[in-house]
Amino acid sequence: MSLMGSIDIFHAIAGLLVGVLVGVTGVGGGSLMTPLLVLMFGVSAKTAVGTDLLFAALTKIVGSAVHGKRDTIEWPIVRRMAAGSVPAALVTLLALGWIGDVGQSTENIILIALASLLALTSVAVIGRKWLFRHRGDLGSTHSAGTTFYGTTALGALIGAAVSLSSVGAGAIGVTVLLFLYPRLPMARIVGSDIAHAVPLALIAGTGHWLMGDVNFVLLMNLLIGSIPGVIVGSYLSSHAPDKVLQPLLAAVLAISSWQLFVKARTPAPVKVEAPVMAKAH
């Protein structure tokens, strides 16, 4: 099949929309793309997670370049988070490889984990608004040691969550970073979170690729839209209309979470064989 024959406009549009959201808010890679692939495009949960991880890595490389050019990345935060996330991702991938393919039960576990993290992410998006307003009052509550170890522990949690479900590096990471670094400008929080997601998603995505969970034609179509989208979103990150964007994003995440819970609890169709006709005597 030719390259042009493999292009799917609907996948490209989905990539474009998610790319813009990633650039603007640091949220949207796994939180929106994986549910879209599962619920709207009928992709299996394992393939959606694996493909989305490489999609997120390549998309956020572009976003990181833009944020780096604008000097909105706090590299010490990136290093602290990576110190926790990289080992956690490797351990999670080894566990997934050891469990192997156990059929529908594995799909349901991934769907439930994804739905749970989306629900948490939805709450985090709403709570982030309050936290941002009151973050100045939180600056004196953290010691240097608490901030350092808290950032590494956050990285470990995100590393495990992202490797399992592709969700966690966006809204959850940004929200906790706002709590740990309340005096840091929002643009630097988002830029640092995006930069940290690059090596994590590359490692987790490569692990899923080796397990056969990546659809490269689908990945190509998503990137066609997401790369220009994340460039635009990263430049707009300091001008995003949060009063409209964040509640809308939280609502979409909550609906996606509910739909994934429903899908996980719906029993797989059972094949019923036709009765064998008795032979006439």
Output the pLDDT for position 42: 87
Output the pLDDT for position 171: 61
CA 4 to chain CA centroid, nearest Å: 28
Could you say which residues of the chain have pLDDT below 50? 1, 3, 102, 269-274, 276-277, 281
162: nearest Cα among 192, 131, 196, 188: 196
28 in Cβ contact with 170 (< 8 Å): yes
Output the pLDDT for position 153: 94
In the DSSP assignment, the letter for residue 103 is: T
74 in Cβ contact with 184 (< 8 Å): yes
3-state secondary structure of 27: coil
How far apart are alpha carbons 202 and 210 in whole angstroms?
A: 12
Output the pLDDT for position 276: 46
Output the pLDDT for position 238: 60
Output the pLDDT for position 271: 43
Number of Cβ within 10 Å of residue 54's Cβ equals 24
**pLDDT per position as a tens digit, 8-52:** 899 999 889 888 877 776 666 667 788 888 888 888 888 888 898
Output the pLDDT for position 70: 77
54, 119, 163, 264 from 203: Cα distances, Å = 9, 25, 9, 27
115, 272, 273, 279, 281 from 276: Cα distances, Å = 42, 12, 9, 9, 15
How far apart are alpha carbons 111 and 265 in whole angstroms?
A: 9
pTM above 0.75, yes or no: no
Contacts with 230 (C-beta within 8 Å, 6 or more apart), sequence order: 19, 20, 22, 23, 59, 60, 62, 63, 66
Output the pLDDT for position 66: 77
Only one residue has tokens 């992202």, namely: 162
